């Protein structure tokens, strides 16, 4: 399951450098995957939409692996001072699917 950031985010920026997949972006910023740049309104390659935020830090679901293979627990949730990095019910995935996503990102580039 990918994580998501709720509107309780205080924009402290602590989570962004902790993500091993570069899945976290500042509100309003474009995001990247496999050398391509995406912005507001662009769906992710998986078809995911609705995750981009103009106001708060956000997580790209195609890039979040719950920190699978890198860490024992989601690092964004571990460092967030207001506990607003939570499981995203719209992007539920099994451990096997998360491991496949790690391989996908290894090949495509983060």
Question: Rounded to the nearest whole angstrom, what is the least distance from the CB of residue 50 to ligand SF4 in the complex?
Answer: 16
108 binds ligand SF4 (CB under 6 A): no
Question: Rounded to the nearest whole angstrom, what is the least distance from the CB of residue 49 to ligand SF4 in the complex?
Answer: 17
Q: What is the dihedral of CA 28, 18, 67, 4, to 10 degrees?
A: -30
> What does the block give as tokens for 73?
């627990």
Report the chain's C-alpha Rg in angstroms.
13
Size of the site for ligand SF4 (CB under 6 A): 30
Residue 97: helix, strand or coil by DSSP?
helix
Question: Rounded to the nearest whole angstrom, what is the least distance from the CB of residue 91 to ligand SF4 in the complex?
Answer: 10
Identify the residue among 18, 44, 87, 102 touching ligand SF4 (CB under 6 A).
Answer: 18
x/- site string to ligand SF4, residues 54 to 93, per CB under 6 A? ---x-x----xxxx------xxx--xxxx-xx--------
User: How far apart are the C-alpha atoms of 35 and 53, rounded to whole Å?
Assistant: 21
106 binds ligand SF4 (CB under 6 A): no
User: How far apart are the C-alpha atoms of 45 and 15, rounded to whole Å?
Assistant: 24
User: How far apart are the C-alpha atoms of 58 and 70, rounded to whole Å?
Assistant: 20
Give the residues lining the site for ligand SF4 (CB under 6 A). 3, 5, 9-15, 18-21, 23-24, 57, 59, 64-67, 74-76, 79-82, 84-85
């Amino acid at each position: 399951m990918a994580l998501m950031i709720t509107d309780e985010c205080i924009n402290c920026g602590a989570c962004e450098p902790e993500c091993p997949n570069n899945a976290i972006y500042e509100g309003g910023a474009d995001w990247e995957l496999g050398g391509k740049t995406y912005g507001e309104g662009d769906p992710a390659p998986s078809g995911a939409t609705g995750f981009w935020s103009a106001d708060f830090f956000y997580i790209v679901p195609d890039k979040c692996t719950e920190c699978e293979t890198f860490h024992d627990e989601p690092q964004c949730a571990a460092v967030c001072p207001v506990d607003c990095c939570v499981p995203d019910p719209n992007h539920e995935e099994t451990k096997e699917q998360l491991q496949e996503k790690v391989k996908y990102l290894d090949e495509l580039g983060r």
